Structure 1
Amino acid sequence: MLSALSFQQNIKQKIVFEKITRRSFRFNLLIAIGLLVVLGILFFSMLGIITRHNETLKVPDVRRKNVKEAIMLLEKAGFEADVRDSIYLDSIPPLSVWEQQPETGAEVKVGRTIYLTVNKVVPPMVAMPDLEGLTFRSAEMTLHSRRLNVGDTIYKPDFATNTVLQQLLNGKLIKAGKMIPEGSNITLVLSSGTGSIENPVPDLSGLTYLEAREILSASNLNLGTVLIDASVTDTANAFVTKQVPPRHNSIGDLNRVRAGETIDIWLAATRPVKDTATADSSK
C-alpha cells in the first residue's frame, strides 16, 4: 500500500519536472531580459539622486586661512578638501592656505574635492646662486627661480653699469653654493657706472695692502690686479711698491680717473723708498 503511494508521488514529481524543463529556452531568455530592463530602469532613475545631478555650489574663499579652518569650512559647505602641495612664503603665517583649486567663486558639483596649497612651517634650504656679473634683471629672475627675494639694492661706481658686483645676506658677503633658507632677502650691490668727474689718482706707494684698499674704497675706485712678490708672507701688511695708473704721468702731471675705474698694484715685503722731490710735487 505504501509502496504504491510512493510510486504515485514519484510519478507526479516527474510530471511537474518535465513541464518545467519543457519550457522553451526563448521563454526563459525573455524573462531574464525583462529582469535586466527593470533593474536598468531602477538604476538610471536613482543615478541622479546618487550623483546629485544638477546640484552645484559656489566654492568659498579659504585663502590665507589656517588649513584646519579651511578644511572645516569646505566640508561644512558640502565639499571635500585635500592638501595637494606646499610652498614657503614669509608673507603669510605657517600652515595658511596659499592657493585653492577650483578657485574662489567657481560653480562646481556638490561633493567636489577642493585641492589646497599650504604654506610650510619650516622653510626648505636652497643653494645660493652666483649672481656676480649678471644684470639686475637676470639676478632678480635667478633669485625668484630659487624662491629667494631681492632685498636692498646698493649702487657703487663701476664701469659695468647695472651689473651685480656683490651679493649679501644679513649685511655679509655670501658665496655661491651656500645653503640658505628659502624666502631669504638678498641684498645686491650694483654698478652705477663710472662717474663723469675726473679726480687725481691717489698715491698708494708705501701704503700697506689694507691701507691702499681703504683709500680706493673711499675714492670710489676699485682694486684691480694684485701682483705679490715672492718674499711676501703676510699680504695684509705687505707694501705697495707700484701702481697702474701711477700718481703722475711721464711729464710729471697728475693722472686722473673717474669713480668706478680700477687701479692695479704690486706688493712687496719691504716699504719702498719714496723720492722726496716727487712726493713734494704731488701735494
Structure 2
Amino acid sequence: MSIFKFLKSKSFFKQIAIAVIGFVILFFGLKFWLNITTNHDQKIQVPYLHKLTIKEAEEKLTALNLDFKVIDSASYNPEYPKKSVIEQSPEAGDFVKEKRKIYLTLNPSKYRDITIPDLNGRTKRQAISELQAIGFIVGTEFTYVKDIGKDVVRGLRHKDKILNPNDQLPKNSIIDLVLGDGNGN
C-alpha cells in the first residue's frame, strides 16, 4: 500500500480522530484537576504587619491561615518598637493563597556594636571622617589638653568615660574628641 493511499484511508482518519479526542479530553481533564488542586480562585489579602510584635503578627496571620518565617535584621530602626516587624514579603495588600509563607524582618533591640579604632595621633578632620564613616556621631564639645600638636587626637570619650582602642559602642553613639592645643612642649 502506498503512503498516499494510507493517508486517504478510513483507518488513518480514525486514528487522527481518536488522537484529537484524546488530546481534548486530556486537556480539559488536566485543566479541571489543576483548578481544584491549586485553589485558583482563592485570594487572601496580606495584612499590614509593620510595627506589630511577633505575637501580634502571628495571631493575625494564623487567623488568615497564613504561615510566616522570621528573618533577622542587622539594621536597627529607632522609629519602630524593639523586636517589631519592620519589613514583610509579600507586601501588605498583595493577594496570596492559604498556607503561603510571609517573610518577616524584625527590628533588633538596639544598634549593633562597633569597635573603636585607634585614632591617637590623627588629625581632628581624619578622626571625624573615620568615626562618621563607621557609624558614630562626633560630638561638638572638644576637650583640649596640653600637647605640641594642634588639633591632634589624644583621646576619645563617651559620656565622660575614656575610650580605648578596640572598645565597643553601639552604632550612632556620640563620641567626644580629646585634642591637643598646640601649646605643649
TM-score interval, normalised by the smaller of the two chains: 0.5 to 0.7
Larger Rg: 1
Residue 87 of structure 1 contacts residue 117 of structure 1 at CA under 8 Å; is this kept in 2? no
| 2:92 counterpart of 1:172 | no
Q: How has the CA–CA distance of structure 1 residues 154 and 87 changed in structure 2, closer, same or farther, with 3 Å as cutoff?
A: same
Residue 128 of structure 2 contacts residue 138 of structure 2 at CA under 8 Å; is this kept in 1? no
CA distance in structure 2 between the partners assigned to 1:129 and 1:100 by the alignment: 35
- The one-letter amino acid paired with 1:263 is N
Q: Which stretches in structure 1 are left out of the alignment for 5+ residues?
A: 1-23, 192-221, 223-260, 266-283
CA distance in structure 1 between the partners assigned to 2:21 and 2:87 by the alignment: 52
| 2:87 counterpart of 1:99 | yes
Identity in percent: 23
1:233-272 equivalences under 5 Å are 261-265=181-185
CA distance in structure 2 between the partners assigned to 1:179 and 1:32 by the alignment: 78
| 2:43 counterpart of 1:52 | no
Task: Give the total of aligned pairs.
Answer: 165
TM-score, normalized by length of structure 2? 0.60
Q: Which stretches in structure 2 are left out of the alignment for 5+ residues?
A: 1-10
CA distance in structure 2 between the partners assigned to 1:116 and 1:164 by the alignment: 44
Q: Note the C-alpha offset of 1:25.
A: 9.3
Aligned residue in 2 for 1:138 = 129
1:147-173: CA deviations, max 9, x gaps? xx427542346954xx97643234222
CA distance in structure 2 between the partners assigned to 1:74 and 1:151 by the alignment: 43
Q: How has the CA–CA distance of structure 1 residues 134 and 64 changed in structure 2, closer, same or farther, with 3 Å as cutoff?
A: farther
1:248-282: CA deviations, max 9, x gaps? xxxxxxxxxxxxx41343xxxxxxxxxxxxxxxxx
1:97-121: CA deviations, max 9, x gaps? 22223444x4333445432112346
Q: CA RMSD in A?
A: 4.1
TM-score, normalized by length of structure 1? 0.43
Runs (4+) of structure 1 moved beyond 6 Å?
Answer: none
Higher RCO (C-alpha under 8 Å, 6+ residues apart): 2
